[in-house]
Structure 1
Amino acid sequence: MKRREQSQTEQLRQALAEREAQLQEAQARLAALEGSTSLQVGRALTAAAKRPGRSLVRLPRDLYRLWRRSGTTNHADRRRVEPVRSFDAERQEARLLTGLGGGGTDRLVAATVVGPEVQKAIDPYLSSVVLRPHDAQIVMDAVDVDLLLVSSSAAAPGSSWAHVGDPAAVDRTRALHWVLESAGSRGIPTVLLDDGTAPPALRRLGFDRVYKGDAGVPLHLFNPVAAELALGPEAVYVRTGPDTVVPDVLLELGVGVIDVDSPGLADALRAANVAVIPESTPGEAALRRRAWACGTRVVSHPAVPAPESEDLTVSVPRLRSLGPTPREVRTMLRQVFLEEATPVRLATLLEGLDFSEGTPGTELPLSGRGVAVLADPGSAEEADRLAEDLLSSRLRPAEVVVPDTAGRLPGLQRLRAEGVTVLTVHLSAPDTPEELEREAGTTGPGGLAPGQWAALAERATRPWAYLWTGTIGGHRLVDLVCAAECSGADAVGIPDTAEHGTEPDGGGERGFFDRNTGVRQYVFVTGIEPELARTDLLRKSWHPREWNRRGTRLLALGPGHGTGPDGDDEGSTHVDASTGAVG
């Protein structure tokens, strides 16, 4: 069935379901009316008026019987009426039965036949319905999904779909082929993530798209911010296979060894200053990005040493002793966040697919990065500075919320002309001296009271809000959103000097960025001066001093991440925070 015919069929099915629901509702009302005592009394009086002779004699008896029966209900005589159901209600009920209620509003619902590593990577960004060979047909029939995602790693030995596509596993191949046919008949896009070796027949089953590559770098797993640093070898060699020979020079240097498919790969990379990766091997680029996400420098080990290249006996000890600087770690992590992270990879996979009508959109994997900038420019100069600041940022915000008094300033007009949504809100001023004194005693960031920030946040539609109080530079917003995505924090900012002094003292537990620096760079604290916070948190009008006592997770960025211009020499390429795509 063609996509257009499928869409028309769904529309006719929905219209028929709505008509049946209206008919059932009319039948239920008619049955209730016919069984009502008022209608029966009216009928008795009408019959007595038409035939006054015998009917007037029977009237008292009939009315007495109606009175006696009015206090009881005979459920056996009541007409059975089916519950009123609609097409949308059935669709939502199907998703509730699989634990996917509301999945169509903030995340795509995907039926998955993927390897365990891919499943862990995509879980925060897609609502997954896991298909297994023994129940694939039943689940696929019972659930309304937006996408079918299959990975080559699902065919690896040991998984439930092992050897799918191989003639020796004809039962699993038949089950997956049936799932693909069902998806095609319902207009559901199908994608094969070719992330490993698999039987050639798997790629010929008829996918809408075959993507050569993996699911990207899951920053919530390769997490240099929230993860606790487990000390280990300062250098590690990543073996791409069990038969890979470790160079003798690395063994002499005391370099640790970890397999590429080991569950402890992320911990080993986090604990090392340098990672040695075999050159020109499958997955080398993915390994390099994962090492960067962990803040680890990468050294390629060529199979045939080049005459002019630095020997491992020199490069490994040199890099191991120096260690990456906070600026270098931040730059590596930023590049992975913008180009290789899992939500970016998912958006690339979904781009251009022909989704059925009503699907929320292919930008949903990146919706968690949407940022609304809250600002209160008091003059035209401040509005111009705000526009210049946001347009030069590598992560361009999705929208800007300002008071209505600043909505017509030239700087805000410039943002509108550049395609940035500008929303305005009316901020009420204190009417009495008591209110003025109370507001003055509870000022928050930028001199605004928490209630004023809350009023701006009420107008915002994105999950994150940045409190603009001055120039931030080209990379600050990227680093804040990246830190929030890595750590799962509710708010990110600079340490609260009123509680922690002018500078973190470096005491307490060691964080990831503390290993070779004198101060802590990324650390969870009890108080911050917020820069980026969840929009729902700002809407509560709580003072930032209360956030930690109310159960929020506060992440402080060290002095290497202070506000103001950023001196990193990187390109001016920016990304849109509504989609996360490079602009």
Structure 2
Amino acid sequence: MKRREQSQTEQLRQALAEREAQLQEAQARLASLEGSTSLQVGRALTAAAKRPGRSLVKLPRDLYRLWRRSGSTNHTARRRVEPVRSFDAERQEARLLTGLGGGREDLLVVATVLGPAVEKAVDPYLRSVPLRPHDAQIVMDAVDVDLLLVSSSAAAPGSPWAHAGDPAAVDRTRALHWVLESAAARGVPTVLLDDAPAPPALRQLGFDRVHKGDAGVPLHLFNPVAAELVSGPEAVFVRTAPDQPVPDVLQDLGVGVVDADSPGLPDALRAANVAVIPESGHGDLRLRRRAWACGTRVITHPAVPLPDTEDLAVSVPRLRAEQPTPREVRAMLRQVFLDEAAPVRLAALLHGLDFAAGTPGTELPLSGRGVAILADPASEADAELLAEDLLGSRLRPAELVVPDTAARMPGVQRLRAEGLTVRTVRSTAPDTPEELTRDQTRSQVGGFPPQHWAALAECATSPWSHLWTGPVGRHRLADLACAAECSDADAVGTPNTPEGAGSAAVGGTALAGAGERGFFDRDTGGRQYVFVTSVTPELARTELLRRGWPPAEWNRRGTRLLALGPDHGTGTDGDNEGPAHADASTGAVG
């Protein structure tokens, strides 16, 4: 029997097993219904009504017997029913046998035929099952997947799927075509990322969706966190092809050269103040976004010089002489985080696909960004500030957790009316002096002990929690979540003041007791991203807050703390977006 016929037989076997499970469950319910006392009483009454003469005389005796038997269970007369086994249980067992953790619902299980760069980009956001030409059929038969994802870069020379779609590579094309047919027969959506030149026949194999572009910017690889830990030239030229010539003016200026597909591209971009990118269609935009994620200004170099444009001999020395300002770095990185990051691109790709019933939500790639707001407004005015702050935030929070006494405030009710999930926690007894007066002492984070934040975090379902103590501006929450995604830190907050001052401010409110700067801490100064041993936490993992540890002890317990500097003042960002990149036409920053 051919492998294709084996796959169809396996699908029919699974469908038959599901039907048998449904039939078995229906038989068990029917047997339970037939043996019920209610049905037998109904039958006795119906027989007496049909034959009033003799049946009415026997009716009291029959009802008495039914009453006597209803209190005892006759195990020998009961029909033996095998335990019901559904197809969903077999699906979960199949995933467990293949090492995919069948009980998890936080990631989509995806069969992948990807190039190395795309595979690294999507790795934290999908449960990847790689397919290779020699085992693609076996893996597709053995594993139940939610999606098939293929990239054109996987057909590049030197890869296992090299030249797939080319008539000269019949074996690989046939194997990929069989995988697509198997996915279509099982109702699994198929997506092609057209991120690189590939044989035209690859796009004509019958994908449900073809996306022109890559999988977005992987911020866990391209980020500005280690910007000062690398060294290199202040300007770099990014070659899109190994044989691409470097402009003579850049050679005279001593500009560094790096290939677009080089593993050292992130380090080269982080070390440079300006990157010169050749104009080459959508590839130009892809490299531009990666440079923005590294906090690097961009100059696009057209193949044909345009009139009224600034020459590279002028723009490159001018931009390489000074580092991008903190506001520029934050604005560029924020734009990539909100619009072009890998989880955003994956969520857009999955939107609208016809997934099989029972598949986890297509928004799962973005689930790691979920932020719960933990707040305890002291008055209705504070609740109104909370509502204005959250409704104006660039990053919409997933939920709000407040004490039940604050749930009745108009500001919280307004957030509930806007569609934000509001959860409440019972923290104090109602109508007590503690509740009515509210202690205003600000001796700890937000004036509350860690146990108070832990109680609020217990009701949060999001992976991240923001300790709201006052308005922070429309960009701050997005910047905090972006910094956490870039650095894989456990908590992000404002840097503590040096030399024992032990206080910081969040939202204009001084917070004491946050701890002193450690011996190994570096002076943050104007730096935006730096790992430290103590911060005043603003965003932290929900599991970390649930432990109720004082923030001063977090670093000693093995957590990674990232200090995020402000744009204007400590802990509050202005509403001005600021300059984001270098314009190719003028070379000016703006």
Whether 1:553 aligns to 2:560 is yes
Q: Specify the alignment match of 1:352 in structure 2.
A: 352
The one-letter code sitting in structure 2 at the alignment partner of 1:310 is E
Which digits, 9 at most, give the CA deviation of each residue in 1:142-184, with x for residues without a partner?
1011000001001000000000011111111111111111111
Q: Specify the alignment match of 1:126 in structure 2.
A: 126
Q: Distance in 1 between matches of 2:424 and 2:25?
A: 43
Contact 1:506 1:519 in 2 (8 A): no
Q: Distance in 2 between matches of 1:477 and 1:285?
A: 26
Q: Specify the alignment match of 2:286 in structure 1.
A: 286
Deviation at 1:417, TM superposition (A): 1.4
Q: Specify the alignment match of 1:235 in structure 2.
A: 235
Which digits, 9 at most, give the CA deviation of each residue in 1:212-255, with x for residues without a partner?
11111000011211566310010000111122111111000000
Cα 1:460–1:9, aligned 2, differ >3 Å: closer, same or farther?
farther
The one-letter code sitting in structure 2 at the alignment partner of 1:457 is A
1:540 to 525, 531, 547: 547
The one-letter code sitting in structure 2 at the alignment partner of 1:549 is R
Q: Distance in 1 between matches of 2:16 and 2:552?
A: 56
Whether 1:250 aligns to 2:258 is no
How many pairs align?
A: 499
The one-letter code sitting in structure 1 at the alignment partner of 2:574 is D
Deviation at 1:413, TM superposition (A): 1.1
Deviation at 1:279, TM superposition (A): 1.9
Contact 2:113 2:130 in 1 (8 A): yes
Whether 1:17 aligns to 2:29 is no
Deviates more, 1:488-497 or 1:230-239: 488-497
* 2:169 partner SS: helix
Q: Distance in 2 between matches of 1:449 and 1:172?
A: 62
Q: Distance in 2 between matches of 1:568 and 1:102?
A: 47
The one-letter code sitting in structure 1 at the alignment partner of 2:135 is D
TM alignment of 1:413-424, pairs within 5 A: 413-424=413-424
Q: Distance in 2 between matches of 1:510 and 1:540?
A: 28
Q: Distance in 1 between matches of 2:256 and 2:338?
A: 30
Contact 1:471 1:563 in 2 (8 A): no
Cα 1:411–1:333, aligned 2, differ >3 Å: closer, same or farther?
same
Q: Specify the alignment match of 2:217 in structure 1.
A: 217
Whether 1:527 aligns to 2:531 is no
The one-letter code sitting in structure 2 at the alignment partner of 1:287 is L
The one-letter code sitting in structure 2 at the alignment partner of 1:563 is G
Cα 1:424–1:210, aligned 2, differ >3 Å: closer, same or farther?
same
* 1:283 partner SS: helix
Cα 1:523–1:330, aligned 2, differ >3 Å: closer, same or farther?
same
Identity %: 72
Q: Specify the alignment match of 2:425 in structure 1.
A: 425
Whether 1:300 aligns to 2:300 is yes
The Cα RMSD (Å) is 3.1
Cα 1:444–1:9, aligned 2, differ >3 Å: closer, same or farther?
farther
The one-letter code sitting in structure 2 at the alignment partner of 1:486 is C
Q: Specify the alignment match of 1:479 in structure 2.
A: 479
Deviation at 1:354, TM superposition (A): 0.4
Contact 1:258 1:268 in 2 (8 A): yes
Contact 2:192 2:211 in 1 (8 A): yes
Q: Distance in 2 between matches of 1:159 and 1:112?
A: 14
Q: Distance in 1 between matches of 2:213 and 2:483?
A: 25
Deviation at 1:98, TM superposition (A): 2.7
The one-letter code sitting in structure 2 at the alignment partner of 1:251 is Q
Deviation at 1:356, TM superposition (A): 0.6
Q: Distance in 2 between matches of 1:224 and 1:204?
A: 40
Q: Distance in 1 between matches of 2:517 and 2:358?
A: 54
Deviation at 1:14, TM superposition (A): 3.0
Contact 1:122 1:342 in 2 (8 A): yes
Contact 2:521 2:533 in 1 (8 A): no
Deviation at 1:21, TM superposition (A): 9.4
Q: Distance in 2 between matches of 1:441 and 1:545?
A: 19
Q: Specify the alignment match of 1:55 in structure 2.
A: none
Q: Specify the alignment match of 2:496 in structure 1.
A: 496
Q: Specify the alignment match of 1:581 in structure 2.
A: none
Cα 1:245–1:567, aligned 2, differ >3 Å: closer, same or farther?
same
Which digits, 9 at most, give the CA deviation of each residue in 1:21-52, with x for residues without a partner?
9999xxxxxxxxxxxxxxxxxxxxxxxxxxxx
TM alignment of 1:394-473, pairs within 5 A: 394-428=394-428, 444-473=444-473
User: Scaled by the length of structure 1, what TM-score is found?
Assistant: 0.80
Q: Distance in 2 between matches of 1:7 and 1:485?
A: 40
User: Scaled by the length of structure 2, what TM-score is found?
Assistant: 0.79
The one-letter code sitting in structure 2 at the alignment partner of 1:151 is S
- Unaligned runs of 5+ residues in structure 1 are 1-5, 25-81, 434-438, 572-583
